[in-house]
Amino acid sequence: MKKLTITRPDDWHLHVRNGAMLKAVLPHTARQFARAIIMPNLKPPVTTVEQALAYRQEILLAIPEGLDFTPLMTLYLTGSTRTEEIRKAAESEHVHAFKLYPAGATTNSDSGVANIEAAYPLFQEMEKQDIPLLIHGEVTDEHCDIFDRERVFLETRLSRIVEHFPALRIVIEHVTTREAVDFVKAQGPNIAATITPQHLLYNRNAILAGGIRPHHYCLPVLKREHHRQALVQAATSGNPKFFLGTDSAPHLTALKENACGCAGCFSAPIALELYAEAFEKADALDKLEGFASFYGADFYRLPRNPGTITLEKRDWQVPAAYEDGEVAITPLKAGETLTWKAAAA
């Protein structure tokens, strides 16, 4: 196959930051994707509808002329979130979900929920208002091995949430384990998951073998090979409960390559190419369109996009860094050769 044309896709988990970083990274996503669920973990976090609308306006101003891109906003769930805010969010045409970060789980998660059971009244209101809950599914107990945090969260937190709120629409973000895949498969149609390109392409050796590789470090961290294989099977199965979410998370190269490197992989400029690589390796390119373009829109009850994007089979080298003024970010696969190229990228 020399060309692959699919319905224009969406990114159902994206970080674009704000300020100069936003202006530098957003065009990469807008060239490939029609829409994206925008993560709210700024400093300070986006916790109200008013803040989300202001952030949305900043994003709209950063879209390059001639590109058609729609940001889908989310609110950051905190211990101070009120049920009135959930109702306001449900009434807003621009706010599409709430994001649950267990406190301390990842970048800018200090304002996250420390006691999940205390948030049950909020989940109840979300269920009533039919607004999705997006979950970073890890425990933050210092005694829990970092490679077990997702599994333990499923067993001790998420299973109880699902039991108490059976109609709540939930997306388990960036699943990384076989246990997470099995959990999603076992639930009803209101439970779904996003899968990142790095978790499809790499296992934990990519972080450590041959020296520490900070640009492969993300949270949840990469896992063992049998977990990666389970994710590939889920993504390429045609199961609509699994869909594309890059979790592209830009950090300045200098902040990744230091004694306390930031967590997050920057994949926005090459996202579709990375997914095409993973699906081709699994001999499942015919399943990419559903995963990238259909299932997420269906879950969020949004129309599928008009238009298409074409990927061409040709070798090209990923830049060592993407630079815009003082913003320099090292992407996944920096300096490496990819074998697919999105025509719009």
Q: Look up tokens 């949305």; give the residue.
A: 56
Select from 146, 53, 148, 147 the least CA-distant residue to 92: 53
**Which of these is catalytic: 247, 286, 298, 324?**
247
Pair 319, 334: CB distance under 8 Å: yes
As a whole number of angstroms, the distance between CA 300 and CA 297 comes to: 5
- In degrees rounded to 5, what are phi and psi of residue 273? -60, -40
Beta strands in 220-307 (DSSP E): 242-244
Q: Pairing mode, if any, of strands 308-317 and 3-7?
A: antiparallel
Residue 301 in tokens: 């009850």
As a whole number of angstroms, the distance between CA 303 and CA 72 comes to: 13
Which region holds residue 99: left if phi is over 0, alpha if psi is between -120 and 50, else beta?
beta
- Tell me: cis bond preceding 44? Omega within 30 of 0 counts: yes
Is there a catalytic annotation at residue 182?
A: no
Residue 259 in tokens: 């004694």
Residue type, 22: L
Beta strands in the chain (DSSP E): 3-7, 10-14, 35-38, 70-76, 95-100, 133-135, 170-172, 191-195, 242-244, 308-317, 322-324, 327-329, 337-342
The residues annotated with a catalytic role in the active site are 247
